Every structure is written in structure tokens, then in C-alpha cells.
Amino acid sequence: MSRIAARFKQLRARGRKALIPYVTAGDPRPGVTVSLMHAMVEAGADIIELGVPFSDPMADGPVIQRASERALEHHTSLRDVLGMVRGFREQDQKTPVVLMGYLNPIEVMGYEAFAAAAAGAGVDGVLTVDIPPEEAGELLAALKRHALDAIFLLAPTTTGARIDSICRAASGFVYYVSLKGVTGASHLDLGEVETKLADIRAATDLPVGVGFGIKDAATAAAVAGLADAVVVGSALVSRVEALADRPEAIAPALAGLLAEMRKAMDER
């Protein structure tokens, strides 16, 4: 069983929903990322989603775009990100780590070389934003060879037939994008989320995470009532941005928000 599957099984047994924070690796500088990952686990994160910086993050809103830019000012490469995961694994062998990013850096490294290096570094899952299952055959095969889970997005506009084919290609969990738009947008419609999650659950037994638009403890708790996992990105990254000049203050700030979310999710 993969580390991700094991984690969801364990959470389910305890009646707990997964809290999945996202930060961009190398933001605001490469040296702080590993300590942020540990601080987030300490504050109640169950799985860490680590963004791989890319020059053209087409699906991201301004907050995560700027995080990529800060990381790229320090030339944070895919190899560097794998190094950070390796560093994290020196102290934490239990918390699953999912890489989230765009295809081109993986293309340049080569699918097989990437999958081997990621598995060797201690990565558990890979979410490549801009590769739909139709184009992903060879990448999926490489990930599978190295026992890495392939995480895919589902959108409000994803039709029934596509939900089936995406869920068949996915492993670990699937990630429902809770609104039309880019990361960090507002207007989360819980009614719409509930309806769509029912369609998704009819298609798969995989755990379902919900993200895009979860800003505070209240929305986290509300989403936890519907989904198996709550993904929080821009709300955290905007705190990183605000404290970019005081990196020592970032970990406590992220931990504070996550602890509030954790508490609200567990007490709902």
C-alpha cells in the first residue's frame, strides 16, 4: 500500500479528514522549505503538497504565480525540489508528499529519470496540472514503475464520461477543483461541491480532496463535511508572501492557520 493510501486508511479509521497544505518549494527562498514542511506536519497536516516552480503557471492565480517567481529568482529547479523532499525524509518517513507542478520541467528531465529520482527522494504522488489522462500514457507508466501515485484534477465542468476515465487513471486520491477559475479565486459554492462529489464518488472509491477557494477555518470545516481531504494553497502562500522579508516568522504563521483549520475540521 502506498504511503498516501495508508494515510487515508488510517485517517478513516480515526474518523478524521485529511488536511493537505500546499506551499511552493523554494518560496521565498530554498533554505526555508524543509522547515516549513515539518512545521505544517506539526500543526496538523496529513499530506504535504509541494509546488514545483514553473515560469508559466497557467492554471494559477496571482498569489501562486508570484510564489513561483520568488522561487525562480533563486533558480529553484525540479532537482532542487527533489533534494528538499530528500531533506524532509531525513526526519519524517511517514507524511506523504505530493509534487504539484507543470509538465515541461518533467519533460526536460525525462519521464523515467524523473519518476526514478522522485521515488528515490521519497515523493509519494505527482499532480501534473497540464497533462490530462489522454496525453499521460507514458508518464503514467513511468510513475507506476516507481510506485508513485498519479493525482488528477476534476473540475466543475468535467462531464460524467471524463470523470470515469480520469478516476481510472488516478491513484492515491483525486482532487476536485471546487470552482471555475484559477487557484486562489473566491466564491466557493458548497451546494455545487456536494452535488459533484456525489458524481465522483459514484465513479471511484478513491478518496476525494477538494481545493481552490478554501481560505479559513470555517470553509475548511464546511468542506471537510463533504470531502475526504481539504487542500489549502493560496491562503498559506499569501502569508508566505507577506512575510517574505522575515522568513523566520513564516513557519509560525502557517502553523497558526493550519492549527485553526485542523481544530475546526476535527470539531465539526
Partner 1 sequence: MESSVPTSNRETYCNQPDEQGHFGPYGGVFVAETLMAALDELRVNYEKYLKDESFLAELDADLAHYVGRPSPLYHARRWSRELGGAQIYLKREDLNHTGAHKVNNTIGQALLARRMGKTRIIAETGAGQHGVATATVAARLGLECVIYMGAVDMVRQEANVYRMRLLGAEVRAVESGSRTLKDALNEAMRDWVTNVDDTFYIIGTVAGPHPYPAMVRDFQAVIGREARQQIRQQAGRLPDALVACVGGGSNAIGLFHPFLDDEEVAIYGVEAAGDGLETGNHAAPLCAGRPGVLHGNRTYLMEDGDGQIIETHSISAGLDYPGVGPEHAWLKDCGRAQYVAATDDEALAAFHALTRIEGIIPALESSHALAHAAKLAPTLDKDRIILVNLSGRGDKDMHTVAAREGIRL
Q: Which residues bind partner 1 (CB under 8 A)?
A: 54-62, 65-66, 69, 72, 75, 77-79, 102-109, 129-132, 134-135, 138, 152-155, 157-159, 162, 166, 177, 180-182, 185
Of 19 and 71, CB closest to partner 1 = 71
The one-character DSSP state at 104 is: H
Of 93 and 157, CB closest to partner 1 = 157
Is 92 part of the annotated catalytic residue set? no
* Catalytic-labelled residue, pool 60, 124, 149, 241: 60
Q: From the CB of 37, what's the least distance to partner 1, in Å?
A: 21
Of 6 and 108, CB closest to partner 1 = 108
The H or E element spanning position 15 is: none
> What is the Cα 19 distance to its own chain's centre?
10
C-alpha span between 183 and 174 (Å, rounded): 16
> Cα dihedral sign for 256, 257, 262, 267?
positive
C-alpha span between 165 and 246 (Å, rounded): 45
Is 199 part of the annotated catalytic residue set? no
Q: For the residues of 71-93, what is the DSSP string, one character each? A: HHHTT--HHHHHHHHHHHHTT-S
Among residues 190, 236, 192, 230, which one has the least CA distance to residue 211?
230
Of 8 and 152, CB closest to partner 1 = 152
* Catalytic-labelled residue, pool 49, 124, 149, 241: 49
Cis before 21? omega within 30: no
Q: From the CB of 260, what's the least distance to partner 1, in Å?
A: 28
Q: From the CB of 139, what's the least distance to partner 1, in Å?
A: 10
Q: Which residues of 80-103 are buried (b: 16+ CB within 10 A; e: fewer)?
A: bbbbbbebbbeeeeebbbbbbbbb
Q: From the CB of 171, what's the least distance to partner 1, in Å?
A: 16
Residues serving a catalytic function are 49, 60
